Amino acid sequence: MNVKSLFRTKSIDTILTEAALDPNAHGTHGSSEGSLKRTLGVWDLTALGIAAVIGAGIFSTIGNAAASGGPGVSLLFIFTAIACAFSAFCYAEFASSIPVAGSAYTYAYASLGEIIAWIIGWDLLMEYAIGNIAVAISWSDYFTSLLDGYGIHVPTWMSMDLLTASRGYDAVKTAMDSGIAFTDLVAKGVAQGSIDGYNAWTTAPQLFGFHLIGDIPAMIITVVVTAIVYIGIQESKRINNAMVILKILVLMLVIGLGAFYVKPENWSPFAPNGVSGILKGVSAVFFAYIGFDAISTTAEECKNPQRDLPRAMIYSLVICTVLYIAVALVLTGIVRFDKLAVGDPLAYAFGPEGASVNWVAGVIAISAVVALFTVLLVFQLGQPRIWMAMSRDGLLPPVFSAIHPKYKTPWFSTIVAGFFVAIPCIFMNLTEVTDLTSIGTLSAFVLVCLGVLRLDPHRPKVPGRFYTPYINGKILFPVLCVLFTIGCIIWNNEGVTVFFQLGEWEVFKHKIPMFGFLIFIVGMCVWTYRKSLSLIPLMGVTSCAYLMTELGWTNWVRFILWLIVGLVIYFFYSYQNSKLAKKV
């Protein structure tokens, strides 16, 4: 093994040729018996993007983000959308040039090398699997709440994860041991969630002393969605399109009707906790945007991928950004920002504490169940196709790229993807997975943008393909970086001195990601000055890397551990079995 072999790349022509000849890929003329079915048009792809983006972010996490940032959280949606837009241009260029399954993994293989492709593929597995665990848990919460409204009560031990129940039991037991009566727990400041956890723990059946507690609705919905994806892309498309139309209509209702209940005084102060308060919602807001790249995983099921994939990415991002900003402004206009730290902020805004239009709250509850279902559907659709692409290259066992002869789907990868979501979502806590999903996605965006930077912007253009517009960043990018760094230091409420508190580890460790970012940016400025790199992918790298620094030290540690596990698998299996290595 030598270092150079780790960065071996596969040319775009080779990727396209192998995809055409691979018996598991779609043939050039659609004649392969093991081919995927080309059935998606531009509006189908746009609907997939909207389905992935309009989900947990707008129906739940937007509340906590608004509680920290106030009405100014709408600016965070704009900033995050701009960061995603830079990345979307880069995704669109690759998707148009390499219209095969695999998304960012395949793009990295063509531009950055095999080991980087493995890392980005491993990242995407984390993004899609852990992201869907979070979505399945959110869907379960909304679904059980909806059933409660109709008088159907699911036992708490069947709708709560084991970790939350255990923590709730410990919190309540500690309070009761100190002399607080059970009926006085809420009055004494014990969270209702802890009380629910205690009830789940004490009422759950036991087997050999083990409490049988699990989020059963989350598991069931994952199995249902996996079955739909297994059966075929045509069925998935029809279900998704219908549900996307429904949830867009509901959001239009929220925006249109809610505008009549907005109190302008609720928008003052616009940013009550300053820029730092707005940025506290980075994880929640970015979690809302992670889905648009899932469109590229369906490249081999598109009728005209080189034309339709770039358009669908941009269309879905623009539509979703407008909806998010409008909803954020209406939400914070109806109810003061400090009351929005609830699990169902849209329903809360139209409830007794807000507009008091109760029938709208019911409609929102139903649409939230639908919206989260479509997010789950899109990610369960995307994840197996990435595994399929990695298997084609020999980095995963061959069975992962097997195509079902009847349904024309990667059947084994689909089943494994369902297993990796259905089982953990029974036991895992929502707060444990959201941030990890965001940092994995941002790292994928950074690598895709770096991949575009490695391409020659002056190479001959192929008619019909999308190319990221070239803007020379030689001078402009370093100037923007200096201005951005100065702005960050000024806006940071902790001040400049926090960067020099090197003797205090508890303070310093949380600044390590920012130090790393500043060193990284200096290197990017030098590279840009020497090579006259393109500004748009540079801004994608910079903005996404900065957002990663806002996700906290703990998430970085977890992320690095995940990468270490992936590298162990790569060196013990994938490196030796790589098809590219066997050709050398």
In the structure encoding, which two tokens stand for residue 70, read together? 């106030």
Residue 499: the pLDDT is 46
Q: What is the mean pLDDT of residues 433-457?
A: 82
Q: Would you tell me how many other CB atoms lie within 10 Å of the CB of residue 210?
A: 10
pLDDT at 147 over 80: yes
In the structure encoding, which two tokens stand for residue 71, read together? 């009405």
| pLDDT tens digit sequence for 501-551 | 445 656 566 677 878 888 999 999 999 999 999 999 999 999 888 888 877
Q: What is the mean pLDDT of residues 371-396?
A: 85
Helices (H) and strands (E) in the chain, counts: 27, 2
Residue 488 CA to chain centroid, in angstroms?
25
- For the chain, the first-to-last Cα distance in angstroms comes to 12
* Sign of the alpha-carbon torsion through 201, 419, 375, 446: positive
User: If DSSP states are collapsed to H, E and C, what string results for 388-435?
Assistant: HHHHHCCCCCHHHHCCCCCCCCCHHHHHHHHHHHHCHHHHCCHHHCHH
pLDDT at 342 over 70: no
Topology (CATH) of 3-146+224-449: Amino acid/polyamine transporter I (1.20.1740)
CA distances from 577 to 361, 390, 391, 570, 580 (A): 54, 11, 10, 9, 9
| pLDDT tens digit sequence for 171-204 | 888 888 888 888 888 777 777 778 888 888 888 8
Residue 31: the pLDDT is 36
Angle at alpha carbon of residue 115, lines to 111 and 117, rounded to 5°: 50
Residue type present at position 70: G
Please tell me the pTM assigned to this model: 0.80
Kind and range of the H or E element at 210? strand 210-211
Domain ranges of the chain: 3-146+224-449, 162-213
